[in-house]
A and B are shown apart, each in its own frame.
Chain A
Amino acid sequence: MRTEPALAIVAVALAATIAPRSARADAPGPWLAVVDLEASVVGESYGGRGELLWRIGRPGTASHLRAAAGILPGPELTFVPLSLGYRALWRSDRTVQPFAGAGWESQHFLISDAPTVHRWVAVYAEAGCGFAIHPRVSLGVATSVDVALVGGVGPGLQLRSFASWRF
């Protein structure tokens, strides 16, 4: 199998990631607000999540810090995750905007007629892709997996669609 085409693709992808972007007077700011509709596959629940991301550094940088909070009611429990993490969002000035990230999550499972189960240390990883419909607005889909490190073993899996606005 020839490796040159694969290496060329990787080289182009890396160059697109690190190449400087020209600044525009009307360039969007460093903040990204995101609203998600989400389904939790493990621990059936459905709801929404709000996210706020802050770009680290100059325009064109992929790195963002992320804070998020959600509430997902289900037939047996209500899942309330609070997250802090990192997201790499590439090609933010292009139509197709893939991203990946990871971080820490504090998980609350609210149960009627029983004490809330709180798992205060979990780690998550996420990946998704947005599609720009406006210079500042994107729609997309994402998935995330998480695993609690304290308070009970068990992986989680969420699927979500989102709308984001950069300002």
Chain B
Amino acid sequence: MRTPGWLAILALALVLMPGAPVQAHAPGLLDASEPFVLDDPTISRALYGTIEQGDEVFVVRARLATRLALPFEVLVPHRDELRDHRPAYAVIAAGLPPVDPAEAARLPRPLPAGAGAIVDWNDRGDRDVVFESFLRRVYWSSGTVALIVPAGDVELWVWSPDRTTGDVVLSFGVEEGGVDYLEVLRHWSIYAY
């Protein structure tokens, strides 16, 4: 019995289907040795990094043309060895509220002159568990927080206040762009595992 033609058509569709555009957070890699500069801060991003020594600070820089309301969250892979890994993040810009001295003392470095900050310490008892369907990964989330970020220069800091080590993903933004498949494939082991 010959193989039905519909089987070939279905197989072809499955091959071609991944070529269809998929809207998602654009991936990127964080490096503690240099800031990650955003070309277009309006595009939502998921930036992946690994805190290896415990004292790294990942920095993201952007310049906003206008004031924007942006959602932020920090994600940690849902693995037993990372259960106590709770990286914090700070949004730093002129025009944000000043940080009280007790909180400022817990920051990994002094704030730039004239800048205020909003800090999420990621210390909520029950973290949300999220399933990322594209790469089929599971994360603990610090919880999405919407912040109004003033126009001008903005910095995001991500660090581990308790000096724990492990992977971290900083997710922010609203406008989803197309997935850069080549970027994902090029750094597959970082994004997928």
Taking Cβ atoms with an 8 Å cutoff, the residues of A that contact B are 14, 17-18, 40-44, 56-57, 61-63, 75-77, 79, 86, 88, 100-102, 109, 111-114, 117, 119, 123-125, 145, 147-148, 151-156
Contact = CB atoms under 8 A, between A and B. Distances in A.
22 contacts: A42-B192, A56-B1, A62-B2, A62-B3, A75-B79, A76-B138, A77-B138, A79-B136, A100-B3, A102-B10, A102-B11, A114-B78, A114-B131, A114-B138, A125-B15, A147-B14, A147-B17, A151-B133, A152-B131, A152-B133, A153-B133, A154-B133
Contact of B136 (A18, A43, A113): A43
A17 B136 CA distance: 38
Interface size class of B (residues with CB under 8 A): 20 to 34
A44 B192 contact: yes
A114 B129 contact: yes
Given A41-B192, A154-B133, 4 more contacts: A86-B7, A125-B11, A148-B133, A154-B135
Contacts of A124: 14
Interface in B123-174: 129, 131, 133-138
B49 interface: no
B135 A43 contact: yes
A154 B134 contact: yes
A147 B18 contact: yes
B2 A14 contact: yes
A76 B78 contact: yes
Report which residue of A76, A79, A152, A154 has the largest number of chain B beta carbons within 10 angstroms of its beta carbon: A76
Contact of A113 (B10, B15, B129): B129
B77 interface: yes
B111 interface: no
A61 B3 CA distance: 10
A42 B1 contact: no
Interface string B1-37: 1111001001100110110001000000000000000
B129 A101 contact: no
Contacts of A156: 136
B73 to A, nearest CB: 16
B137 A43 contact: yes
A111 B4 CA distance: 39
A56 B1 CA distance: 10
A112 B80 CA distance: 10
Interface string B174-191: 000000000000000000
Contact of B22 (A114, A123, A153): A153
Contacts of A79: 136
Nearest to A41: B192
B14 A77 contact: no
